[in-house]
Structure formats: C-alpha cells, structure tokens
DNA sequence: CCTCGTGTTTGGATCGATCCAAAAGTGTCG
DNA sequence: CGACACTTTTGGATCGATCCAAACACGAGG
C-alpha cells in the first residue's frame, strides 16, 4: 500500500532481507526448480515486502533474452492489420512477451530504420510483413544477425526463405472463380493491385489456373490499380462503362469490393443479380454491407496467433526446421455473388 | 557486405580499432558535441568497419533511459485505435523512440498485467486509454512509480489527474444538436454506450446542454446499448418502431451510425430526408456511405500525434506543468443529416 | 567413520554501456 | 616562459541482473 523507499530495491536488498544470497534470489525470480520450497517462499515474501520490481534490462545484459518481439506491418490503421495485431498481442500476452510495433507504410527506408532499432533493442524475434520490393538479401541479413524472423502474409522471393505464416489465397481465388462459373459467369475480371508481391501473385495464380480450367483463358482480364475503397468504385465504373463489361468481379480486398458495390448502386444495378462481386479478407463490414458481400476469409486474427506461436517456438529452438504455415481461406458466399433473387437474406 | 566475425563487437573493440578510449566512443554514440570532428569521424568509420550494433540494453542499465514508450488501447482491431496508433507511431519514429503495444480488451486484469510488464521493462512513458472502471488509484500509482503517464481519449475521475489528450466531444455534440434543431428537428435521440466513462459523459453533457438550450428538455431521450454496427441497426429499428419515434439520431460512434443507416434503408426510409443520423469519429467509411454520413470528426491520428509529442515532452521535463490538450471535434455535415432533397452530393 | 550421491546454496566474474572527476592537449596573453 | 581558460580525452567505478564452478548439507550404504 504505502509507497516504499525512494531508493531502488535490487536483488541484493531482498537477499539481505531474506537471509540468502543474490544467486538464490535470482533463481527464485527465474522460477527455477532448483531452490527449496521454504526458501522460495521466504524470498517471494521479502520481494513483496520491499516492493521489488524486476529489472528486465539488467537481466537482458547478461542473458541476452529480452522477452520482446518486433512486429512490422504496412499500416496499422488498416483494419486487417489491426486484427492481425490483435491476434499477435493475444498470444504474446499469454507467454509474457511484449510486442514492439511499427508501421512501415510500405517504405523500405522506414522498414530498414525500424529493423535497425529492433536489432539495437535485441528483440528475441521478428514478425515481418515485408514492405513491397524488399530484397531477399534483407531477409537473409536478418537471419545473419541471428534474429529469428517470421514472414507474415507476404514473403519475398518465389517461395518463403524461412518461416512463413499466411493464407491460402490461391485456393481461395480458385474457389471463387469456380463458384462464379457454376452460376454461369464467363466474363470474370480480377481487380488486382499495382505492386508485384507474393500475396498478389498468389491471387493471380489462382485466377489464371481456374480460368484456364474452365476454358476461359481468352476471357481472362486483370485490371490493375490502387486498392482503396474510392479506387474500387472508380475502377468498377470504368470497367462497366467499357464495351466488354464483366459480369463478375473478384477484388483484391474487401475495401475494393465495397467500392465496387458503391459503383453498382450508383449505376442503379444490383450486386449479385446484375454483376457478382467477391472480396478478400471477410472484414466485419462485409457481412453488413447492402447487399452482403461475398468474401474469401483470411482470418487475420488467426494468422496473427499462428505467427506469434511460431515465433515463440522459434525462440525456443532457433535451429528447428523452418515452417510454412498456410491457413485455409474459405469462400464465404453472400448475396453479392448470388444470382438468386432471394435478396436481403442477411443473418440477423 | 560480407558477414562480420561471429564474436560480438563492443565499444571496446571500436576504441581499440580507432585508437581512442571507450569513453570517447560512447560520447560519439550519444552524438555528444564534446568530441572533436576528426575523432568523431574516425570512430564512426571504425564502427562501420567492424559492423558495430549499439546495445541499448546495456546503455539502459546505466542511464535508465530506454527510448521506449508503452501504449495501451482497448482493442487494436478497432479502426479508431488503429489510426490513433498510426499517429503515435509516426511521431515516435521521428524521435527514434519505439512503442510497446497492448490491447486491454477493457479488462482491468489484462491492463494491470501489462502495466507491470511495462514497469519491468522501464519504459520512459506510458500512453494509456484507461480500461473502463480503472480506479484513480491506479493512475496515481503509476505516477508514484516515477513513470510519466498520458491519458488518451478517456480519463479516470471527474477531470484528468495529470496529462491528458482528447477530443472536445462536448462541443462537437452541442454543434450537432444545434445543426439538427436549425433544420427543424425536435425529437433528437442520443444513442449512447452502456459504460460510464469520461468520453461517454462528455457526449452526454453536450447533449443535455444543447437540448436544454433549445428548450427541448422534455423531448430528450438517451438510449443505452452496445456499440457495434449490428447493435446500431437493431437499436435503431427498435426506436423507430416505438410510438414516439425520433426524427434524428446522434450516435456514440460511426459504427453505430452506420448500423442506423442500415436500419433506415431496411425500412425503406432515406437517411437525411426521413430521419437524420450523425456519428462520431468521421472514420474513412463515413464519407463513402450511402448516403454519406455526417459525423463529429475526432481525428484519431492527430490525437495520437499530440499524445506522443506530449509524452516526449514529459520525458524531457518530468516536472513540467501538466497539460490537458483538447482537440477540436468539428461537425462534418453530409447527406445523412440534410433535409434538402439534393441527394447523392458526394465528392468524387 | 568415511565415502558418495543428491539436492541446495553461494561468491566472484561477467554482460556492455554510461557517468564523473580528473588529466591531457591547445591556444592566448601578460 | 608560465599562468590561465577552454576544449578534448580518459580511466576506473557503476548500473542490476545471470552464469558457473565450487562449496555445503544431509542421509544412505559400505
């Protein structure tokens, strides 16, 4: 209750108070099995009595373990990464680890600065959604520093160099195309991003594969542009104005897809009936849009949890075999991609 | 380029390589003005040549400054806090500080655990959106630890105990009510949350004040309930079904307001013409909703920036006078609160 | 009684920086 | 040339924990 002495309490003080050595106190703090039950109790009581606060910095100096993890995302203001971070946070908290967070804004420069800082702080591991154009050499450099690094959602190079956690967007997009084909769609356009990173390539690969499978190679059309809601609206308006307008759209993410819905309603068309729209991520808003938006669910929170778990595992065994965890990305079908006139079938 | 020796490079190694003492190297690393230009250059070159990495942990042990800041929000998956965090991150990055992040989920227990951890890590300051029901004693305890703490968006107790950064929601809501009254609305309902925290009380105070000012005390109505989009929809449906249905709604946040828009369109009513709706936060989505949503703009990113700046200032002068920064929360009027039949006036 | 093994405890040495008071270097001026 | 002021550099001591080899306690077995 009462505030304790102004002077800092250290292991030495509680050792004196409990009548043992510093080493023993240290062992108690580390929850070691070596120390006898009675002693442990005495030390813990002394620590509580003196209002001791563990100094993790001092411990780090000697042991070079920090109980921290660095997390780099492109933009923490993006709800997708917010949910990802929530999953990471949840898992780390349970293990008494703490995340440092930085937004790279997809800038290589800011990413590099942050990585340097993380190295100075000697985080135990790194969870990295690499900024666009990150060279493979950067990832190798991190490994060279002896810092475990988990790539999340995106990976540099053809296939992940080391540990990786992401969603199976390729299969997700394949399922989306098949679903559309079954409903009779043939002109199916992919609204992709401009940048060429792994997550983008996966969607594209799935799209190409499924269009080919359906014998629709010559009707394939990939539209590239910015990935905001606004852009989604504009891009859709432009596409529908063309003389070979698509009857179905698969959008890079839900924001773009929601923009597409705006465009349709602006033109007095009904999504689902007049033009099918499918997004990616299944953000909360998707289910509540009007009409409800079909989406390929990437479950960011689960990805975050898995990534954090893998990081903890890698900290425990740095030389263990590298893992590549790819979570399912199931297609959630809602009104925006159903021809059926039974509209407004939202769940309450 | 090539990987350096496996053995760790320390100040001592650089000192030997550059032919100076450890102390001098340390001064260079701290960017001190004391050291001569030529020496500084020699040391920097030696550091680069040896691939030196500053060990912040070791520095902390001696100097008890960590260049870190702890941030606690309720839910990082909420876009509002995402934007807030983006502002914080931005400002801290510029000052070479790094944030630890934790979501409390409005749980006192998780908040307490995180605070304890922050104390062990000896962060230089704390940015805290206090969880509901946080006792004033907790905030005092933090100050007692000698850790600067900035309350953000919410504060415990009647008025902030120490430093505080938030938005002027009281004035924002007053402006909203006045705007509605001018348009002829009289039955104006406030859709509030269930919890009783400062940010909630401020909205309520503004509402009461403005309704009284307009002589509408007896028509005042505060509806309390959960604050999700879904809940916003349901609550609005319930309200409009009543026999004294409101003609205007001021919602606790934009999510609730967007839910209200869904409810109106579900009933075949047009927001703005049939029932006015105003939200709080002015999230990106507000401008793009159909019809566009009027909102009291809280500018989370700016709040984040201000909070981080104040934290840096407080670190520099711990005993400086406490500040209470309240940012304007201007009303952004869009179609959802305009009677005028000039609809679909969105900016392109 | 001595040896041995098992379970606990301990005293330096150490991690890698910063702090501080004092020493060394440099130049100016009477 | 020496005193003086000013700039630059330096060598311990220190921060508060962990690590490790060695010491200690104690009961069992020969």
Radius of gyration of chain B (CA): 26
The reported pLDDT for the residue numbered A256 is 95
Paired tokens of A285: 């808003």
Q: What is the mean pLDDT of residues A77-99?
A: 95
Contacts (Cβ under 8 Å, ≥6 apart) of A319: none
The reported pLDDT for the residue numbered A157 is 84
What is the rounded distance in angstroms from the CA atom of residue B80 to the CA atom of residue B253?
A: 10
Angle of helix A11-18 relative to helix A37-50, nearest 10 degrees, comes to 120
Decide: helix, strand or coil at residue B331. Answer: strand
What is the rounded distance in angstroms from the CA atom of residue A125 to the CA atom of residue A141?
A: 14
Residue B325 has phi, psi (to 5 degrees) of -100, 120
Angle of helix A79-94 relative to helix A300-316, nearest 10 degrees, comes to 40
Contacts (Cβ under 8 Å, ≥6 apart) of B342: none
Residues of A in contact with B101 (CB under 8 A): 85, 89, 99-101
* DSSP string covering A284-310: HHHHHSSSPPEEEE--HHHHHHHHHHH
Q: What is the mean pLDDT of residues A46-74?
A: 96
Residue B38 (CA) to nucleotide D2 (C1'), in angstroms, measures 30
Residues of B in contact with A284 (CB under 8 A): 229
Inter-chain contact A82–B86, Cβ cutoff 8 Å? Answer: no
What is the rounded distance in angstroms from the CA atom of residue B171 to the CA atom of residue A14?
A: 53
Residues of B in contact with A120 (CB under 8 A): 53-56
Q: Which nucleotide is closest to the Cα of A38 by its C1'? A: C8
Task: Please give the order of strands across the beta sheet that includes A248-251.
Answer: A221-224, A188-192, A248-251, A276-281, A294-297, A331-332
Provide the β-strand partners of residue A279. Answer: A295
Paired tokens of A176: 């989306």
Q: What is the mean pLDDT of residues A282-296?
A: 89
Query: Prior bond to B291 cis, omega within 30?
Result: yes
Q: Kindly tell me if the per-residue pLDDT of A345 is higher than 80.
A: no
Which alpha helices (DSSP H) does chain A contain, by range? 11-18, 22-29, 37-50, 56-63, 79-94, 108-121, 136-144, 169-182, 198-213, 229-241, 254-266, 284-288, 300-316
A119-149 pLDDT tens trace: 999 999 999 999 988 999 999 999 999 999 9
Residue ranges of chain B whose pLDDT lies below 50:
1-5, 341-348
Q: Which of residues 236-255 of B touch A (CB under 8 A)?
A: none
**Min CA distance, A99 vs chain B (Å)?**
6
Inter-chain contact A76–B78, Cβ cutoff 8 Å? Answer: no
Name the average pLDDT for chain A. 92
B49-93 pLDDT tens trace: 999 999 999 999 999 999 999 999 999 998 899 999 999 999 999
CA distances from B16 to A120, B20, B43, B156 (A): 21, 6, 10, 54
| First-to-last C-alpha distance (Å) of chain B | 49
Nearest CA in chain B to A100: B100
Paired tokens of A311: 């990081």
Q: Kindly tell me if the per-residue pLDDT of A65 is higher than 50.
A: yes
Confidence of residue A6 (pLDDT cuts 50, 70, 90): low
Decide: helix, strand or coil at residue A271. Answer: strand
- Residue found under tokens 């959630």: A332
A174-229 pLDDT tens trace: 999 999 999 999 999 999 999 888 999 999 999 999 999 999 999 999 999 999 88
Decide: helix, strand or coil at residue A190. Answer: strand
Residue B184 (CA) to nucleotide D28 (C1'), in angstroms, measures 97
A222-281 pLDDT tens trace: 999 999 888 999 999 999 998 889 999 999 999 999 999 999 988 999 999 999 999 999
The reported pLDDT for the residue numbered B228 is 87
The reported pLDDT for the residue numbered B8 is 87
pTM over 0.85: yes
Nearest CA in chain A to B259: A288
Task: Determine contact, residues B43/A43, Cβ cutoff 8 Å.
Answer: no
Residue A14 (CA) to nucleotide C2 (C1'), in angstroms, measures 39
The reported pLDDT for the residue numbered B345 is 38
The proportion of chain B whose per-residue pLDDT surpasses 90, expressed as a percent, equals: 84
Task: Determine contact, residues A210/A180, Cβ cutoff 8 Å.
Answer: no
In terms of DSSP bridges, do strands A331-332 and A294-297 run parallel, antiparallel, or are they unpaired? antiparallel
Q: Of B77, B118, B290, which is closest to A79 when you measure between CB atoms? A: B77
Give yes or no for CB of B59 within 7 Å of strand C.
yes
Inter-chain contact A76–B53, Cβ cutoff 8 Å? Answer: no
Residues 23-42 of B with CB under 7 A from strand C: 23, 26, 29-30
Nearest CA in chain A to B98: A100
B272-283 pLDDT tens trace: 999 999 999 998
Mutate to test the interface with A, among B62, B89, B90, B135 (most CBs of A within 10 A): B89
Paired tokens of A127: 């969870």
Provide the β-strand partners of residue B170. Answer: none
B232 touching A (Cβ < 8 Å): no
């Amino acid at each position: 209750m009462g505030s304790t002495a102004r002077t800092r309490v250290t292991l030495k003080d509680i050792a004196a108070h409990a009548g043992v050595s510093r080493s023993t106190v240290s062992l108690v703090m580390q929850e070691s099995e070596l120390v006898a039950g009675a002693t442990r109790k005495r030390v813990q009581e002394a620590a509580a009595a003196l209002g001791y606060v563990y100094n993790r910095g001092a411990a780090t100096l000697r042991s070079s373990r920090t109980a921290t993890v660095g997390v780099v995302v492109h933009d923490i203001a993006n709800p997708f990464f917010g949910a990802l971070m929530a999953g990471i946070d949840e898992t780390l908290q349970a293990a008494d680890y703490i995340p440092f967070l930085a937004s790279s804004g997809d800038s290589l420069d800011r990413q590099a600065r942050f990585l340097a800082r993380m190295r100075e702080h000697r985080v135990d591991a790194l969870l990295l959604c690499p900024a666009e154009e990150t060279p493979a050499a950067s990832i190798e450099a991190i490994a060279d520093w002896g810092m475990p690094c988990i790539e999340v959602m995106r990976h540099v190079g053809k296939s992940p160099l080391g540990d990786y956690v992401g969603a199976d967007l390729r299969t997700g997009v394949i399922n989306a195309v098949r679903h559309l084909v079954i409903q009779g769609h043939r002109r199916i356009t992919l609204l992709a991003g401009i940048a060429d990173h792994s997550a983008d390539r996966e969607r594209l690969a799935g799209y190409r594969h499924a269009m080919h499978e359906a014998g629709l190679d010559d009707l394939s059309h990939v539209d590239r542009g910015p990935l905001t809601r606004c852009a989604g609206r504009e891009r859709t308006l432009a596409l529908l104005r063309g003389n070979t307008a698509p009857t179905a759209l698969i959008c890079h993410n839900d924001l773009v897809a929601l923009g597409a819905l705006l465009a349709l309603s602006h033109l007095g068309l009904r999504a689902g009936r007049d033009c099918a729209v499918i997004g990616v991520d299944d953000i909360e808003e998707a289910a509540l849009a009007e009409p409800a938006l079909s989406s390929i669910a990437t479950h960011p929170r689960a990805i975050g949890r898995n990534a954090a778990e893998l990081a903890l595992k890698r900290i425990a065994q740095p030389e263990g075999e590298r893992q590549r965890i790819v979570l399912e990305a199931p297609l959630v079908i809602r009104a925006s991609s159903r021809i059926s006139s039974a509209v407004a079938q939202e769940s309450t």
